[in-house]
Amino acid sequence: MTLRSRLLLAALVVTITVVAALAYVSARQRSVLTNQIDAQLEVVSNNVDRGVERLAGRSIVNPQTRPDELLVTGELYVGFLGDGEPQVLARPVSEPDLVPDLEDVDLVQVAQTGEPFSADVLGSDAQARVVVADIGPGFVVFAASTTAVDDAQNQLLITAAIALGVVLSTLAAALWSVDRLGIRPIESVTKAAEDVAAGRSDHRVEHPPVATEAGRLGSAFNAMLDSRQAVEARQRRFVADASHELRTPLTTLRGYAALHASGQLSASETDDAMARIHSESKRMEALVQDLLTLASLDEDRPLKYSTIDLSQLLSDIVADASAIQPERPIDISDIDEGVHIAADRYQLTQALTTIINNTLRHTPTTASLALACGSDETTVRIRISDEGPGIEPEHLGHLFERFYRADAGRERSAGGSGLGLAIAEGIVTAHQGQIDAVSTLGEGTTITIVLPLEQ
């Protein structure tokens, strides 16, 4: 059963329940009001004997008999039925024409039971409640109109109809709102999911109402599809870039192997070819290792945490950088002593070394390099700055993308594969940290790493 069907069924159940409740209230009201009339009739019927005794021998049919002598109120009909013509002893003030139709009533039987019963009113569509008392020479009839009960019943029915209309209108508005804001967006999400499953990956949920849960579901579904499409695009680009990077060394290896197999290389050329093959194989090995590192980071493999003295680690990395470029000025005066962090030593060293080597490779040796390290109560901040030429703004946002090179024309042997900073970002992210780069043309670049003190 669909959600819309369940809602309609629930609305039907609510409607039936409300109608049943109103019907019960109506029936209960009529019963209560009728019982009140019956109770009044039974009181005067039970007192008829005392009323007759107080007449002191006067005939009950005497026109001079007063209603108060029979303990009768002004809203009751009182009549006498004997051997002669029926006589009216009292009439209701509000309905003076009230006369019950007792032609087909067995007066003896109803007088014996003493129970009130309903009878039609002569010359009217109204009804009355009647009690008959047997007094020997005849019967005394007490009757009370049910017009007030009918009027109260009609007023209740009108009120109930209005209440039912309000309830049904409110229920219909609620169902319409739920259908428009809830069911239709869910159906749209379902349709989009079916289209995507069928291969139409560009399908999206159109204009979801974001203020509702179903709307947020549609927005989240669209965001998921966009993210999935972006991931697939990155994967395709990654595979293409990796294939492109591997194709060059493989082509070189295959070319030298073909020349050697054809005997076209002299002894000196063979030595040079072997050196080139060795160089290309090492570059291919480094590229494959970088790809394996990225795959490991993507799989969220557990890190091997240990306590690291960052000031000592940075000092060791700076010493290695100085050995590579002794002429480059390096400032480490802002590295605080005694800063310790829980991290994977090998991966963190790889990330920092990659960033510094990238700076050494892409800035002139005269550009100074500065390292800073400090901590607060929860985080450690590492800053690596250079005074090189800087990075153009259009390249800065892609700095940590895989296989991205700011200078597309730069040789791979000089520029690397474009995976170093992507690996550094992956390592920092694996440590629940953040990495960011800011650069100003002509002034230099600063890369900041923020890591939590404890994992």
Strands (E), 346-396: 369-375, 379-386
Whether 248 and 314 share a structural domain: no
Domain closes at, from 269, 298, 327? 298
**141 in Cβ contact with 121 (< 8 Å):** no
**Do 384 and 284 belong to one domain?**
no
Is 24 in the same domain as 137? Answer: yes
The amino acid occupying position 277 is: I
| 167 assigned to some structural domain | no
What pLDDT sits at residue 412? 46
* Gap between the Cα atoms of 192 and 204, Å rounded: 6
- Print burial letters for 355-365: b (CB count within 10 Å at least 16), e (below 16): bbbbbbebbee
Which residues, in sequence order, are CB contacts of 186 under 8 Å at separation 6+? 3, 214, 217
- CATH value at residue 271: 1.10.287.130
Clarify whether residues 227 and 309 are in a common domain. no
CA 425/CA 2 separation, integer angstroms: 47
Question: Is residue 310 included in any domain, yes or no?
Answer: yes
Q: Are residues 319 and 445 in the same domain?
A: yes
Domain of residue 80 covers 3-151
Say if residue 443 is in the same domain as residue 356: yes
* Whether residues 20 and 76 fall in one domain: yes
Q: Is 209 helix (H, G, I), strand (E, B) or coil?
A: coil
Residue 398 CA, chain-centre distance (Å), reads 35
Query: What predicted TM-score, i.e. pTM, was given to this entire model?
Result: 0.49
Would you write out the chain's pLDDT as a tens digit for each of its 455 residues? 777 888 888 889 988 998 999 899 989 998 999 898 888 888 887 776 555 444 434 444 444 444 444 445 567 888 888 777 788 888 887 788 888 888 888 888 888 888 899 999 888 888 999 998 888 778 888 999 888 888 898 999 999 899 889 988 998 898 888 887 777 777 777 887 887 778 777 777 776 666 777 777 777 878 888 887 777 777 777 777 677 667 777 887 888 788 878 877 777 778 788 888 887 787 777 778 777 777 777 777 788 889 999 989 999 999 999 999 999 999 998 998 888 999 999 889 989 998 998 889 889 999 999 999 998 888 999 999 999 898 888 888 888 887 776 654 444 444 456 788 888 998 999 888 999 999 999 889 999 999 998 75
Q: Which of 103, 127, 151 is the last residue of a domain?
A: 151
DSSP H or E stretch at residue 396: helix 393-396
**Per-residue pLDDT, 404:** 73
Residues facing residue 342 across a β-bridge: 307
The answer as to whether 197 is a domain residue is no
The reported pLDDT for the residue numbered 447 is 93
| DSSP assignment of 233-299 | HHHHHHHHHHHHHHHHHHHHHHHHHHHHHHT---HHHHHHHHHHHHHHHHHHHHHHHHHHHHHHHHT
> Which residue among 298, 314, 348 closes a domain?
298
Residue 410, domain member (yes or no)? yes
Strand partners, 444: 440
The verdict on 267 and 330 lying in the same domain is no
Task: Let me know if residue 240 belongs to a domain.
Answer: yes
**Considering its fold, how many domains does the chain have in total?**
3
